[in-house]
Amino acid sequence: MESCVYSWDKVSDLTTTEAKACLQAVIFAEDLRFREVSVESDALTVVNKFKSEELDRSTIGNTINEIKCKIQRFRYLAFKHIPGTANGVAYRLAVWGRQFDSPRFWVEEIPSEVGHLL
């Protein structure tokens, strides 16, 4: 398991934020040389766009297409929809991560400040 938090200013909507978060997760996994990756998102629209074989021309199309270009670098790369109500840890981690100006990364563990939610 890997976790990371990023601070993004001036992101116009939650769908864009979630697409960017998925891109960062894929880049992080690629940097760590993971070959089999499952990315979970509570944004069904974003997950469906990853699964579509059509070129995405929406406002998040560039982000979606950038991720799709990375698929061949993995043995397995899947995107799964997880309802937001089912992942309180991810929500708590996102809220907690807002305090940082630079990215934070964790592999095999999460910060103790949110670990009690497991």
% of the chain with per-residue pLDDT over 70? 66
For the chain, domains (ranges, CATH) are: 3-116 (3.30.420)
Q: Residue 61 above 80 pLDDT?
A: yes
Neighbouring-strand partners of residue 40: 80
Q: What is the pTM of this model?
A: 0.77
Nearest to 5 by CA among 111, 88, 118: 111
Q: Residue 118 above 60 pLDDT?
A: no
Measured from the Cβ of residue 49, the count of other Cβ atoms closer than 10 Å reads 23
How much is the mean pLDDT over the chain? Answer: 81
Q: Residue 32 above 80 pLDDT?
A: yes
